[in-house]
Structure 1
Amino acid sequence: MEFQDMKEKFLTLLNNQSLIAATISQPRLKSNDLRRVRLKPIELKGIYTIQLEYQYERILKHENIPVDLFAAKLEQLLEQFRQIHAQFTDQTLHIQLSKKNKVLWKSEQTKENKKINLAHNRQKQYLLEETTIHPFLVRLGVQAENGAIKKQKYDKFKQINRFVEFIDDALDYLPKDRTIRILDFGSGKSYLTFALYHYLKIVKNLDIHVTGLDLKKEVIEECNQIAQDLGYTDLQFLVGDIQDFNDETAVDMVVTLHACDIATDMALARAVKWGAKVILSVPCCQHELNRQLLSPALEIMTQHGLIRERFAALATDSIRAQLLSLVGYEAQLLEFIDMENTPKNILIRAYYTGKKPSADDRAKYDDFIQFLSAKPFLQNELQGLL
């Protein structure tokens, strides 16, 4: 088969709208930092389109091209690469090119025609769009300067967007007539703190003041410098501990991410006492209950260290959510990010509604605590409010 015939035949297959996925690979030049290009069909505004994912060593880029305009792009790609592997609904195709563009064409019919779901293949729409350059993401190394999400930071990009979704959901519970005070305990490198500020201040144009708190002085200094560079005048970072922070008497939103063991409970208790309307907490290292478990009925589980640890973690977060509901919050336990990225993926989301708990709600809590022989730190901290 001649080179020109191969291109026309491949384009005909694409125009038949039977493509499932394809990979163009084997760069002709070793100096080419573009390693491969993946193709998949999507539907954009009712138009059948080929989405290209350019895979460089460290970053990914995307481009969408209507299929009837794809010929020029294919010509360009075949100048750079020597191999195409494609899956269509009725066949698997392998094309190999020599240095002089001699064509090896191998096609294998599939036993059953595969189906294409163009709607399923649509690119996920994030609140912080991939196609938009976000200065804070560039400054934090998640985006390249041209806006492309760096390959090794894509999970972080998804995590940030998931967090922004929670922030967006909470907007109705925040005040509209004054400055919104927000505290982030254990802010660390502050990816999510900067995302929170960017979304509420830059995107939503709300009047906010955000404070990030962490124990690591060098991290705080770096975060303050980044905030200054970005012009985030209502964002500050302080060195401090959750237990010793007394600069506020009232706060509207409290965020705590991966505060270890009872540090999470300290943050939750402070949030409640400050009258926070919104609490977002991702706990970590729940050891307190693990040490207290004395229920004989659970020994078939708790005799195994791994199971005991996991059960204690789930029970601890359930206790926290129930305690928050007993002091007037609507509390939920939600998946924060995919379990494949980290097992620490439960988020406690609580909105203050002022709803009074029923006697049955309190009885269920008391029965559970008695069954576990537990003495939760958070219960003690909230004693005067329960």
Structure 2
Amino acid sequence: MNANDLIKDIIDKKELIQLVLSNKRNKELEYNKINIRPIQIKDNFMYQFTYVYSNKEIHKNLEPEETKDEIIEHINGNFKQAQMYCVNNDYQILVNKKLKANVLKKKATKKPIDISHNRKKKYILEEDVPCDFLQYLGVMNEKGNVKKQKRDKFRQLNRFLEMVKDVESNFDKNKKIKIIDFGCGKSYLTFALYYYLVKIAKFNVEIVGLDLKKDVIEYCNKVAKELNYENLSFQIGNISDFNEFTEVDMVVTLHACDIATDMALFKAISWNSKVILSVPCCQHELNTQIKNDLMNPMLKHGIIKERFSSLATDSIRANLLEIIGYKTQILEFIETEHTPKNLLIRAVKSKDKVDKSLVSEYKEFKNFLNASPYLEKLLVENDVISID
């Protein structure tokens, strides 16, 4: 069998594991070699070509018929060698100066691999596994299949639980963990948090969801009761007025608007919370304060100033938390195509004393912006920190 027929036969039978075209003959080619492998994209069986340049790689996916033509074209003019790793045998194709191809057959050295390009992601809340609260809230059906219109919500819940899982070691399994979710809304994340900590991680928890909407709170309490989620309750109220607990292990605040986020952070600090998870929203406070002539080329554009103000606000919050002893990260919560409000502040208490070494850096930054942050005001007025 000649080289062209061999290539066609291998592609037709789907026996190719990998093919490498090397030893470039055509010096005008910008790439130096090509790696080819089969790939499954949804329901389409294709071949991925990786063109290897000196400083980059470019990928292209081709149908089987296009693949045969592309490989044969390269063997008949562009490359002197092709190494094919197949299911039953390996083949080496060597092309001489007269463009005659010699085929060497060898024993197979590679095993077939998983060619799925869309490998099923391993979630904390698994797909195709029925979950009571997800079924009740309409995210999945009775068989555990995630509904198409709820897939973004499903990913968001799992992303949130991944962040919780990363910090669960800060909780003591020998005591009841007290958690407040401020502005819980319809409480998808609150129910997910309870389900994960109680049913998967096996913690003893008491979770209270707070919201100002009476109908939302009544509905959430109804769901918790019907699911038999003990120690999960919902109350009408504001976090600043909640005083049932003297200490809270974790405070969750998602999309609290403007300085409501600062109020929630201050309350968490007052409770000496071990963990804070906060997704801020509508940061308007600094937008009217920021002023610096050096930054005028940027700040004179309204949308740029708005976005910068949001980033500066979250940076200030994170720095203040670090000053008072929290190890703080700002993470991407969900993809930006779903919402621009995609940053989450995750703070874990690491020490009890104020880190004065960070104060001067913070002061220079906020003075540079001409900013008077509300969270700083709350901390100073309550003698938590001194910014002098």
User: What is the aligned partner in structure 2 of residue 385 from structure 1?
Assistant: 384
Counterpart amino acid of 2:384? L
Give the whole-Å Cα distance in 1 for the aligned partners of 2:345 and 2:166: 14
User: What is the aligned partner in structure 1 of residue 349 from structure 2?
Assistant: 352
Give the whole-Å Cα distance in 1 for the aligned partners of 2:194 and 2:12: 49
Pair 1:229-2:226 in alignment: yes
Asked whether the equivalents of residues 178 and 205 of structure 2 are also in contact (C-alpha less than 8 Å), the reply is yes
Give the whole-Å Cα distance in 2 for the aligned partners of 1:301 and 1:288: 18
TM superposition outliers: structure 1 runs of 4+ over 3 Å: 9-19, 88-91, 106-110, 115-121, 355-360
Matches within 5 A, 1:204-223: 204-223=201-220
Aligned-pair identity in percent equals 48
The secondary structure found in structure 2 opposite 1:255 is strand
The secondary structure found in structure 2 opposite 1:87 is strand
Between 311-320 and 171-180, the greater mean CA deviation after superposition: 171-180
Give the whole-Å Cα distance in 2 for the aligned partners of 1:137 and 1:376: 39
Counterpart amino acid of 1:284? C
Matches within 5 A, 1:1-386: 13-14=13-14, 19-21=38-40, 38-39=42-43, 86-88=45-47, 92=63, 109=68, 111=70, 118=115, 121-354=118-351, 356-383=353-380, 384-386=383-385
**Aligned residue pairs, count:** 305
Give the whole-Å Cα distance in 2 for the aligned partners of 1:173 and 1:108: 53
Give the whole-Å Cα distance in 2 for the aligned partners of 1:206 and 1:255: 17
Counterpart amino acid of 1:330? K
List alignment gaps of at least 5 residues for structure 2: 1-8, 18-36, 50-61, 75-84, 86-112
Deviations 1:265-307 (A, max 9, x none): 0000000001100000000000001111122221111110100
The secondary structure found in structure 1 opposite 2:162 is helix
Deviations 1:208-240 (A, max 9, x none): 000001111111111111111111011001111
Q: By how many angstroms is 1:89 displaced?
A: 5.0
Give the whole-Å Cα distance in 1 for the aligned partners of 2:164 and 2:69: 47
Asked whether the equivalents of residues 325 and 355 of structure 2 are also in contact (C-alpha less than 8 Å), the reply is no
Counterpart amino acid of 1:314? L
The secondary structure found in structure 2 opposite 1:170 is helix
Give the whole-Å Cα distance in 2 for the aligned partners of 1:86 and 1:13: 12
Deviations 1:20-42 (A, max 9, x none): 236xxxxxxxxxxxxxxx43xxx
Give the whole-Å Cα distance in 2 for the aligned partners of 1:199 and 1:155: 19
Q: Cα RMSD between the aligned structures?
A: 2.5
Deviations 1:175-197 (A, max 9, x none): 23211100000001111100000
Counterpart amino acid of 1:92? E
Q: TM-score, normalised by structure 1?
A: 0.73
Q: By how many angstroms is 1:202 displaced?
A: 1.0
Over alpha carbons, which structure has the higher Rg?
2
Give the whole-Å Cα distance in 2 for the aligned partners of 1:350 and 1:107: 53
Asked whether the equivalents of residues 213 and 236 of structure 2 are also in contact (C-alpha less than 8 Å), the reply is yes
Give the whole-Å Cα distance in 1 for the aligned partners of 2:125 and 2:133: 11
Q: TM-score, normalised by structure 2?
A: 0.73
Deviations 1:287-344 (A, max 9, x none): 0011111222211111101000000000000000000111111111111111121111
* Structure 1 pair 109–378 and aligned structure 2 pair: CA distance change class (3 A): same
* Structure 1 pair 92–221 and aligned structure 2 pair: CA distance change class (3 A): same
Asked whether the equivalents of residues 21 and 87 of structure 1 are also in contact (C-alpha less than 8 Å), the reply is yes
* Structure 1 pair 225–270 and aligned structure 2 pair: CA distance change class (3 A): same
Counterpart amino acid of 2:263? M
Q: By how many angstroms is 1:12 displaced?
A: 6.3
Asked whether the equivalents of residues 331 and 345 of structure 2 are also in contact (C-alpha less than 8 Å), the reply is yes
Give the whole-Å Cα distance in 2 for the aligned partners of 1:290 and 1:297: 16
Between 300-309 and 115-124, the greater mean CA deviation after superposition: 115-124
Give the whole-Å Cα distance in 2 for the aligned partners of 1:89 and 1:168: 36
